[in-house]
């Protein structure tokens, strides 16, 4: 009978069982303390080498090069990638070499989350790396990652580039194409800068209903649902305009909201049925003032 699993998935599940048989918990619940990250080490090690004599870092194994009693692995955390050097006798100082020979070499895979403790050094080829003195499995990966190959100049081959796969499996996309994280980071900075700008003006952030009995504030086809307790139809909001205006009527000088809108209409790369919008209303102002405020706000956003 077919299990629906690929050969790699079957092998990883077998490795999972072997890890447990060896008494290793592949999904430990304990916290793992971290005091460094890849970007910080690569940027600052040469400036102050003494600061990196005892480091603790965690991330995914992205590549491995096993060479007998010593190996190299590439670790990827939220900030970037860094090389890790593993020596059998450092990880297994006693006679029992099971952890290195069996656990690391045979039962760990690309994609596994691991924790590394050790010190930073520079290899003979000049690459800043971590010499591991402790190596801990934090989470066993049961699905293989797409293999993205890069040459010395940074060119990508066999990349995870299919648009359908990228958008449907965003978590995989961000793992193997980490440069796309910059989009998420910039979006967060834009929202935080706008929020800070509005707060500094004394305007209040609010939340208005997403489920509404009347879909008003815009001309669009809504998503409809049903409230069982009240036995009445409700709609996912197509706009939050009317509720924000009611708060201005209630006496607030300025209100704004970052929130989800839902419109049951066509879709393409620039038009999604679910999207985030920001609306702001300020009392006693006109459109000329609003244009000036928006220009000033966007200037702050661009600088950020």
Strands of 274-282's sheet, edge to edge?
204-205, 254-262, 274-282
For residue 1, the model assigns a pLDDT of: 46
Nearest Cα to 76, choosing from 65, 67, 64, 91? 64
The Cα 253–Cα 268 span in angstroms is 37
Q: Give 10-residue mean pLDDT values along the chain (304 residues).
A: 81 97 95 96 95 96 92 95 96 93 95 97 95 97 83 68 86 88 94 98 97 88 95 95 96 97 88 94 97 97 92
Give all domains of the chain, ordered by start, each with its CATH number: 7-145 (2.40.50.140), 181-303 (3.30.930.10)
> Number of helices and strands (H, E) in the chain?
9, 13
For residue 149, the model assigns a pLDDT of: 67
């Amino acid at each position: 009978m077919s299990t629906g699993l690929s050969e790699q998935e079957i092998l990883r599940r077998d490795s999972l069982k072997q890890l447990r048989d060896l008494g290793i918990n592949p999904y430990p619940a304990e916290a793992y303390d971290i005091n460094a990250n890849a970007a910080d080490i690569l940027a600052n090690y040469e400036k102050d080498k003494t600061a990196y004599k005892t480091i603790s870092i965690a991330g995914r194994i992205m590549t491995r090069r096993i060479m007998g009693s010593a190996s190299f692995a590439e670790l990827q955390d939220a900030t970037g990638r860094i090389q890790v050097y593993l020596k059998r006798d450092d990880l297994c100082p006693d006679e029992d070499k099971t952890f290195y020979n069996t656990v690391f070499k045979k039962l760990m895979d690309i994609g596994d989350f691991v924790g590394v403790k050790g010190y930073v050094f520079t290899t003979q080829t000049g690459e800043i790396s971590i010499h591991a003195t402790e190596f801990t499995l934090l989470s066993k990966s049961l699905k293989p990652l797409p293999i993205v190959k890069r040459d010395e100049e940074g060119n990508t081959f066999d990349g995870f580039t299919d648009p359908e796969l990228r958008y449907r499996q965003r978590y995989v996309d961000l793992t193997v194409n980490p440069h796309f994280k910059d989009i998420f980071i910039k979006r967060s900075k834009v929202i935080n800068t706008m929020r800070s700008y509005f707060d500094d003006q004394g305007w209040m952030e609010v939340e208005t209903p997403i489920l509404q009995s009347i879909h008003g504030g815009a001309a669009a086809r809504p998503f409809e649902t049903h409230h069982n307790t009240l036995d009445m139809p409700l709609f996912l909001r197509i706009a939050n305009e009317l509720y924000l205006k009611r708060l201005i009527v209630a006496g607030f000088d300025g209100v704004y909201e970052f929130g989800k809108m839902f419109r049951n209409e066509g879709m393409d790369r620039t038009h999604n049925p679910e999207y985030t919008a920001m609306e702001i209303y300020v009392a006693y102002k006109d459109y000329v003032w609003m244009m000036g405020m928006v220009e000033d706000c966007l200037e702050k956003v661009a600088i950020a």
